Every structure is written in structure tokens, then in C-alpha cells.
């Protein structure tokens, strides 16, 4: 008899232990949002790269320094380029028009001399021709005078052409040498890395004496007065993002605070590896102190309701069915959803009791 009583007690205990956990829907506010994470960047922030290979000779700023547009950040060793520039300048001085004035004077003198010879031979030929018309002199004398005249004319015209050729050659050489000096000077400037904006040097990743190349980032420069939030949004959610949408932001560095921001830029290019789109936002009211590359989590607000009929999401079966007390399955229509709750639009009353599946 005692055994029968004990078995009955155990069965009653098990039945009580397996009593169904039930709840009823509640009314309250709900916000549907898209989760995203990202990093902070200062406005117009960029990584500075050199344009040539070289060894760092001198670093002219330090982290935290304020810089202006065009201000030198570092200098690369450029002895070879300096010598090239000097050689180009020497060549330019050699090709300069004033340095070649002697050649022009000589060519001008040849013109004048050949012109005088041409005038003399021309007058002699004309006189001999007149005498021949009067049947004075011989034909050989006439032909000799004519040949001398033609040679003088050719020499005179050749001296003019030679002067023009020398002038053109000197001008060409002078202009070419001048351009070579400009190119060498430009190349020499490439050995100095300069700031492209007014801002602050956030970081310098290289040291004096290191070999650097155009593929290596040297420094990070940005505007310390304004920051933007860059976040990655999944391709399945991007169509729900629009300009001006409100965002709730939580920064790792500000554990117990929440900040607001709004979407101000949606990049139309998807990262093929992560299958995400880059979305940029700005704080409505930024924290007092921020630094580049701070991490944050964000909820991009889609819709908000102040009063809705809500059930925990883990009481739903496939976002379309619920189980009532007693085992009945009922189809419901879902509205807004957050991470924990879902809005019921149809199929359920506040007095219904639900069983957790």
C-alpha cells in the first residue's frame, strides 16, 4: 500500500513539474530597427601616402600636431634627385639664349658679309651684261660674272636660313631645358610629403630611417572638430535605409550612454566579400570627446509604435503561428518586430493564453 502511495505521489509531482508555461499578450511601445556596427572617422579623414620610394630622412611633425594645407609632414632622402635637378639647371643655363648670343652674332655677321658680296657680284654682273649688249667683252667673262653672282646669291640666302635654324635650335633647347628643370623640381618635391587639408595628425606609422613606398600608409590626418559614423549594412537590409533616418548609437567608450544620429550618406556600391553596403551618419549631438576608429553599435530606426499588442518572439513558430493553452495552433499576422518582441496585428486577443513552443 505504501508503494502505491509513493508511485502516485511521484506521478503527481511529475505532472506538476510539467505544467505548461503560459503568458498573455501585453500592450506597450515597440520599435523596429536594423542593427549595424562600425567605426568613427573624423570628417575628411585620409591616409597620407608618399608618391616615390625612399628612406625617411626627417619627420617634421608629431602625433597631435595641427597642420595646414601644404605643410610638410616628412622628408625623404633625395640626394640623387637633387643632383639630377642641378644637372638639369646646368643644361638649361648652357642652352639659354643669352649664353648662345655669340653664335647668333656670328651667324648675323655671315649674313651681312654674304650680302655685301652678293651686292658686289650683282653689280659686276649687271655691268658686264650691259657691256655684252654693246658687244663689248667676251661671253666667257659674262658667264663667269653670272656664275659669281648666282653663287653669292645662294650663299646669302643660305646664311639667312642658317641664322633662322640656329635661332630655332637655341629656342628649342632653351625651352626643353627649362621644362626639364621644372620636371626635376617637381620630382624633387615628391620627396616631401605634405598635408592635403587643415587638420590634426592623428597617427604616424613610420620612423626616421625606414624605407617607404607609395603602397605604405604613412600618417592619418583629419578634422578633430567633426566626426562621422561609418557602418556596414547587410544587403538584405539596405533597401530599408533612407536619408535622414534616425539612429540610436552606443559607443564602447561610453558604456552607459546612448546617442542619436541620422543617415546622411548611402554608398551605392556593395562590398563583394562581406555583402554589405557602407552607410554614413552624423551625430545629432556628439559626445564631448571622440577619437578616430572608436567602435560603436547602432540601431537604424525603421518604425515606432507607442501602443501595440506584443508577445515574446520565442513564443512564435515561424513568425506566423502561436500555440494557445490547450494545444491549439493559431495563425497570426505579425507587425513590427524588435530583438525580443513582436507586434500581433490579427489572430490574438489580450486575454488569450499562450504556451511557449
| % of the chain beyond a pLDDT of 90 | 31
- Mean pLDDT across the chain, nearest whole number? 83
| pLDDT tens digits for range 172-196 | 777 777 777 676 666 667 788 999 9
The SS3 call for residue 351 is coil
- pLDDT the model gives residue 200: 93
- pLDDT the model gives residue 261: 95
Q: Of 344, 346, 333, whose CA–CA distance to 311 is shortest?
A: 344
Report the pLDDT averaged over residues 76-87: 64
DSSP label at residue 317: B
Whole-number Å distance between alpha carbons of 19 and 23: 13
* Contact between 354 and 25 (Cβ < 8 Å): yes
Q: How confident is the model at residue 312 (pLDDT cuts 50, 70, 90)?
A: confident
The SS3 call for residue 5 is helix
Q: Indicate whether 317 pLDDT > 70.
A: yes
| pLDDT tens digits for range 34-72 | 899 999 999 889 999 998 888 888 899 999 999 999 999
Whole-number Å distance between alpha carbons of 292 and 220: 9
The SS3 call for residue 16 is helix
Q: Indicate whether 17 pLDDT > 60.
A: no
∠ CA 257-260-261, nearest 5°, is 140
- pLDDT the model gives residue 232: 93
CA distances from 189 to 85, 186, 211, 215 (A): 11, 5, 18, 18
- pLDDT the model gives residue 31: 85
The SS3 call for residue 154 is helix
* Contact between 295 and 251 (Cβ < 8 Å): yes
Its pTM stands at: 0.57
Burial class (CB in 10 A: 0-12, 13-18, 19+), 289: exposed
Amino acid at each position: 500500500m505504501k508503494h502505491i502511495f509513493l508511485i502516485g505521489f511521484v506521478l503527481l509531482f511529475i505532472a506538476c513539474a510539467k505544467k505548461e508555461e503560459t503568458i498573455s499578450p501585453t500592450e506597450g511601445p515597440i520599435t523596429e530597427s536594423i542593427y549595424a556596427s562600425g567605426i568613427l572617422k573624423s570628417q575628411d579623414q585620409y591616409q597620407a601616402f608618399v608618391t616615390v620610394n625612399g628612406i625617411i630622412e626627417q619627420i617634421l611633425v608629431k602625433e597631435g600636431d595641427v597642420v595646414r594645407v601644404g605643410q610638410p609632414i616628412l622628408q625623404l632622402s633625395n640626394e640623387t634627385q637633387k643632383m639630377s635637378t642641378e644637372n638639369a639647371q646646368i643644361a638649361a643655363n648652357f642652352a639659354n639664349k643669352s649664353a648662345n648670343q655669340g653664335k647668333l652674332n656670328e651667324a648675323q655677321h655671315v649674313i651681312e658679309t654674304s650680302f655685301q658680296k652678293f651686292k658686289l657680284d650683282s653689280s659686276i654682273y649687271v655691268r658686264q651684261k650691259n657691256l655684252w649688249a654693246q658687244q663689248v667683252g667676251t661671253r666667257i667673262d659674262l658667264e663667269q660674272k653670272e656664275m659669281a653672282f648666282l653663287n653669292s646669291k645662294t650663299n646669302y640666302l643660305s646664311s639667312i636660313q642658317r641664322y633662322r635654324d640656329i635661332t630655332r635650335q637655341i629656342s628649342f633647347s632653351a625651352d626643353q631645358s627649362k621644362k626639364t628643370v621644372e620636371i626635376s623640381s617637381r620630382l624633387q618635391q615628391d620627396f616631401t610629403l605634405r598635408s592635403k587639408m587643415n587638420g590634426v595628425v592623428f597617427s604616424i606609422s613610420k620612423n626616421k630611417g625606414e624605407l617607404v613606398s607609395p603602397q605604405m600608409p604613412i600618417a592619418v590626418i583629419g578634422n578633430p572638430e567633426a566626426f562621422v559614423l561609418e557602418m556596414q549594412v547587410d544587403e538584405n537590409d539596405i533597401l530599408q535605409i533612407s536619408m535622414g533616418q534616425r539612429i540610436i548609437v552606443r559607443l564602447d567608450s561610453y558604456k552607459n550612454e546612448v546617442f542619436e544620429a541620422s543617415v546622411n550618406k548611402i554608398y551605392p556600391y556593395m562590398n563583394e566579400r562581406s555583402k554589405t553596403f557602407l552607410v554614413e551618419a552624423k551625430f545629432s549631438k556628439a559626445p564631448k570627446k571622440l577619437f578616430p576608429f572608436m567602435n560603436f553599435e547602432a540601431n537604424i530606426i525603421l518604425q515606432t509604435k507607442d501602443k501595440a499588442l506584443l508577445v515574446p518572439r520565442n513564443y512564435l513558430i515561424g513568425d506566423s503561428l502561436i500555440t494557445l493553452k490547450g494545444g491549439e495552433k493559431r495563425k497570426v499576422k505579425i507587425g513590427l518586430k524588435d530583438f525580443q518582441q513582436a507586434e500581433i496585428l490579427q489572430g490574438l486577443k489580450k486575454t488569450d493564453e499562450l504556451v511557449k513552443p
